[in-house]
Amino acid sequence: MKVMFFFAIFSLFLVASHTKEVASQDTKACIECHEMVSPGIVSDFKASKHYKSGLVGCAECHSGKDRPDSFSHNGFRIHTVVSPTDCAKCHVSEVIQYKNNIMSHAYGNLTHNDLFKTFMKAVNYFEGRPLTEEDSCLSCHGTKLEVRGTKKRDTVLGVMEFVALEGWPNTGVGRINPDGSKGSCSACHARHSFSLRVARSPETCSRCHKGPDVPAYKIYSVSKHGILYGSQKEKWNLESKPWIIGKDYNAPTCATCHIAEVSVNGEIIAKRTHTMSDRLSHRLFGIPYATAYPKSPETYKVKNKEGLPILSELTGEPVAEYLIDKEEQARRTKTMKSICSVCHTTSFVERHFLRVDEAIVTTNDIIRESTKLLTLSWNKGGANIKDGIFNELIERLWIEQWLFYGNSIRLASAMGGTDYGVFDGGRWSLSSTLEKMKEWLRILFFLTNSQKTAN
């Protein structure tokens, strides 16, 4: 009798604790079905703080006010795409901050910039092929999700109708959501576990920052910071809140310097921010020159003297009106230096930043030399500017000068990843490609002159 009574109480307790864990009856219904049809999503979600809080569930994020992509699904009105608008229900400051982050404008900054649209075509060879663009540039920049009617599908529960979404799936940082909001929190807070550990791990950033255009992850990996992460991370606490360097972990990940709250003995020296430019004085991966950071995250609106949508003239002169001023640069640098100072002395930090300045100057100088060669080529018939500036070989060599090597050298300097500034897409590549441009131009001119002579 006693035993039965115990079991009854115990069962009640189980039910109670279970009910407590599920945010709502709607969410409970979601889970019941989806545990059968997509158990990986549900198990991932059940590992999340959202689930464990008992406050956030499927229905809390995947339903709400009607929007273009809402549809009826088993008696519920839901949307597939969770947008920053959904996250803002709880994380309002993060969403507001992220709106000012250049990343949230990555779609428009690419597709509304005439120069970059031409570049996309040069990269992909084809244009006007959405599936190619989604799979290429827009994979990181974000797609534009648009409702294209509905589609019926045969499911385990019979035929069901779903909204058909152009551009889906995508977790690009500047995704245009059906509700008009920009960005995908899931880009860094992956899938349904929303793990702090994942967001704080440099691997997360590697998805879009590993290639030769922005080799930040590779550079981090061989920096002292990355080495300490790689060799010790099993011993670190990457999930604590607050997340205190020296206590929970002993070398920064990407998140530490660019996003996380950094405090010293309880005093906050850098506020947590999802506007990463708050700590960035320069736009290092320069297009084509490194400049001060742009004032507005909507860089496609920039116009230089020639009317080109880039932050500098082709001579390298920055287009000052669109850029933050020296005072603002100093403020941001001060924040970043204060983060360095948690583990490094002032003399260490000061000269480190001098070297970064030097890398900006020298890479800009060599790129300026390269631009002169390209201009010469255009002017003297070596290459054709009229058919676009990104297709011919000498134009492509020029592109690699800034898109690959200049960027790599500056980032390697800023993050202490030596080799990427020297032999692995670094200074060796920059000086070699300049020489290659020179010699190639000699041949182009020879061919052009021979043709003229022949005519």
Query: What mask, x for binding a second copy by CB under 8 A, covers residues 317 to 336?
Result: --------------------
d(CA 434, CA 426): 13
Q: Which of 70, 105, 99, 72 is nearest to 87 (CA)?
A: 99
Task: Report if residue 247 touches a second copy, rule: CB under 8 A.
Answer: yes
Question: Under 8 Å CB-to-CB from 4, ≥6 apart: which residues?
Answer: none
- Mark the segment that binds a second copy (CB under 8 A) among 15-23, 177-185, 223-231, 310-318: 223-231
* Shortest separation between residue 378's beta carbon and a second copy, angstroms: 16
Residue 186 Cα distances to 38, 74, 82, 203, 421, angstroms = 18, 25, 9, 14, 31
- Mark the segment that binds a second copy (CB under 8 A) among 90-98, 130-138, 295-303, 323-331: 130-138
Task: Report if residue 368 touches a second copy, rule: CB under 8 A.
Answer: no
d(CA 14, CA 16): 5
Task: Select the residue interacting with a second copy from 12, 92, 354, 385 (CB under 8 A).
Answer: 354
Q: Which of 163, 182, 192 is nearest to 110 (CA)?
A: 182
Q: Enter the DSSP assignment of 293.
A: P
Q: Which residues, numbered 79-118, are part of the site for a second copy (CB under 8 A)?
A: 80
Task: Select the residue interacting with a second copy from 33, 147, 164, 308 (CB under 8 A).
Answer: 164
Task: Select the residue interacting with a second copy from 59, 78, 110, 165 (CB under 8 A).
Answer: 165
Query: What mask, x for binding a second copy by CB under 8 A, covers residues 4 to 43?
Result: -------------------------------xxxxxxxxx
Number of Cβ within a 10 Å radius of residue 395: 20
* Shortest separation between residue 416's beta carbon and a second copy, angstroms: 8
Q: At 273, is the secondary structure helix, strand, or coil? A: coil
- Mark the segment that binds a second copy (CB under 8 A) among 86-94, 108-116, 285-293, 343-351: 343-351
Whether 54 contacts 16, CB under 8 Å:
no
Task: Select the residue interacting with a second copy from 97, 223, 335, 371 (CB under 8 A).
Answer: 223
Nearer to a second copy, 93 or 232 (CB): 232
Q: Which residues, numbered 49-68, are part of the site for a second copy (CB under 8 A)?
A: none
DSSP codes, 217-259: HHHHHHSHHHHHHHHHGGGS-SS-SS--BTTTBSS--HHHHHT
Residue 414 Cα distances to 136, 339, 349, 408, angstroms = 28, 14, 11, 10
Task: Report if residue 380 touches a second copy, rule: CB under 8 A.
Answer: no
**How many residues make contact with a second copy (CB under 8 A)?**
117
Task: Select the residue interacting with a second copy from 232, 315, 379, 384 (CB under 8 A).
Answer: 232
* Shortest separation between residue 3's beta carbon and a second copy, angstroms: 30
Rounded to 5°, the CA angle 52-54-58 comes to 95
Number of Cβ within a 10 Å radius of residue 435: 9
Whether 434 contacts 369, CB under 8 Å:
yes
The one-letter code for the residue type at 128 is: G
- Mark the segment that binds a second copy (CB under 8 A) among 20-28, 86-94, 129-137, 293-301: 129-137
Task: Select the residue interacting with a second copy from 83, 101, 171, 181 (CB under 8 A).
Answer: 171
Q: Which residues, numbered 397-436, are part of the site for a second copy (CB under 8 A)?
A: 403-404, 413, 418-424, 426-428, 430-432, 434-436
Task: Select the residue interacting with a second copy from 29, 90, 147, 228 (CB under 8 A).
Answer: 228
* Shortest separation between residue 178's beta carbon and a second copy, angstroms: 13
Q: At what angle do helices 346-379 and 427-454 cross, to 10 degrees?
A: 10
d(CA 244, CA 264): 8
Task: Select the residue interacting with a second copy from 71, 76, 162, 378 (CB under 8 A).
Answer: 162
Q: Which two tokens stand for residue 364?
A: 């800009």
Nearer to a second copy, 272 or 352 (CB): 352
Q: Which two tokens stand for residue 40?
A: 């990986």
Q: At what angle do helices 25-37 and 39-46 cross, to 10 degrees?
A: 130
Task: Select the residue interacting with a second copy from 28, 29, 44, 76 (CB under 8 A).
Answer: 44
Q: Which residues, numbered 131-150, are part of the site for a second copy (CB under 8 A)?
A: 131-132, 134-137, 139-140
d(CA 291, CA 281): 9
Rounded to 5°, the CA angle 270-275-279 comes to 45
Query: What mask, x for binding a second copy by CB under 8 A, covers residues 173 to 212?
Result: -----------------xx-x-x-xx--x-xx-xxx-xxx
Q: Which residues, numbered 253-272, are part of the site for a second copy (CB under 8 A)?
A: 264-265
